[in-house]
Chains A and B, each alone.
Chain A
Amino acid sequence: MISATDQALIKRVQTLQCQDSFSVLVERHQSDLRYSLRQMTNWDEGLADDLSQETFLKAYQSIKTFRGSAKFSSWLYRIAYNLMISHFRVARNREETGVEVLTDIPASQMRTETSQQDLHRDLARAMKVLPATQRMALHLNLHRELTHSEISDIMEIPLGTVKTAINRGKITLRQNLAGWNSEEIR
């Protein structure tokens, strides 16, 4: 079962409600998703894992609606993105310190910390100043190497909006990372 394709496993879950097959899917995709959500949530490991868990639970509940026209991982990202957006919306409504309401990190602070902290955390910190749409689009494009069209499907936004989000995100990220010496990164 471990070597079975995603498609075969999904079919088993859809027809037989086979939980073991779903566990193999979870095992296979959890690391990527958990990393991506860490990048999206300013490396909040607890929140990222909670959202990942919720994503897989939702995926199991609605797996019958998965038609296989997109990759399973893309479908997971779509669920995760929607969950993340609603989480931030609720957090903002409650006036909690959500990622969306955080302000820019002072460049000086960033520069001094880059040499001490892990590359992934630094990147997540730099990304947190971007709006969620730009952050997600940029991550999927630059890190996961997905095409604009795939990102458009995942985020359910027009192709033009994806391109704009990526371009704007890149500009903002470059500004935020100005003077950041990538060689310092461990």
Chain B
Amino acid sequence: MSKPINLDALFKQARQKEPYYGGKDFVSRVAVDIGRQKKLSKTKEAIIIGSAAVIGATITYAYFPLEMIMQQVPTSFVINPMTVLMAAGITSISCGFAYWLAEDKSL
């Protein structure tokens, strides 16, 4: 009668002799799979955004009070010295702010 096999010893032997599988190819295959998956979800995202844009545009076209707004747009402008001064002031402040933003390294 044959001796019963010692499973613990057998598995220990298998554990000690377990081969190591080089992972470079495998890792790149997984990375490609993940990339493909991401691309798919980006396409899905684009479709959702596109559909939302179409729906939004349709609703806007139907309900947006364009004519009312157009009627309120002044057809003539009166430029007096105060207007010129105000425009110059706003331009100076904007330019100063833009310069400060560009120079500030902490931003």
A residues lining the B interface (CB < 8 Å): 19, 22-23, 26-27, 30-31, 34-35, 49, 52-53, 56-57, 60-61, 119-120, 123, 142-143, 145, 170, 173-174, 177-180, 182, 185
Q: Which residues of A contact B11 (CB under 8 A)?
A: 123, 142-143
- Cα A60 to Cα B14 in complex, Å, equals 30
Instruction: Tell me which residues from 1 to 25 in chain B have a Cβ below 8 Å from any Cβ of chain A.
Output: 2, 4-11, 13-15, 17-21, 23
- Distance from A25 Cβ to chain B, minimum over Cβ atoms (Å): 10
8 A-B contact pairs sorted by A residue (CB < 8 Å) = A19-B34, A23-B31, A27-B27, A120-B17, A120-B19, A143-B11, A170-B7, A182-B13
Whether B37 sits at the interface, judged by CB under 8 Å, is: yes
- Cα A52 to Cα B29 in complex, Å, equals 11
Interface of A is mostly: helix
- Cα A177 to Cα B2 in complex, Å, equals 10
**B22-53 to A contact mask, C-beta < 8 Å, 1/0:** 01001101110111010000000000000000
- Other-chain contact of B4, A27, A174, A185 (Cβ < 8 Å): A174
Q: A120-B14, A120-B18 are in contact. Are A57 and B5 (CB under 8 A)?
A: no
- Other-chain contact of B5, A34, A120, A178 (Cβ < 8 Å): A178
Interface of B is mostly: helix
B residues lining the A interface (CB < 8 Å): 2, 4-11, 13-15, 17-21, 23, 26-27, 29-31, 33-35, 37
Q: A170-B7, A179-B2 are in contact. Are A143 and B14 (CB under 8 A)?
A: yes
Contact B31 A123 (CB under 8 A): no
Contact A119 B17 (CB under 8 A): yes
Contact B15 A143 (CB under 8 A): yes
- Distance from A43 Cβ to chain B, minimum over Cβ atoms (Å): 12
Contact B18 A30 (CB under 8 A): no
- Distance from A147 Cβ to chain B, minimum over Cβ atoms (Å): 15
Contact B5 A119 (CB under 8 A): no
- Cα A123 to Cα B12 in complex, Å, equals 12
- Cα A166 to Cα B5 in complex, Å, equals 16
Contact B23 A174 (CB under 8 A): no
- Cα A119 to Cα B14 in complex, Å, equals 7
Q: Which residues of A contact B13 (CB under 8 A)?
A: 119, 182, 185
Q: Which residues of B contact A177 (CB under 8 A)?
A: 5, 7, 10
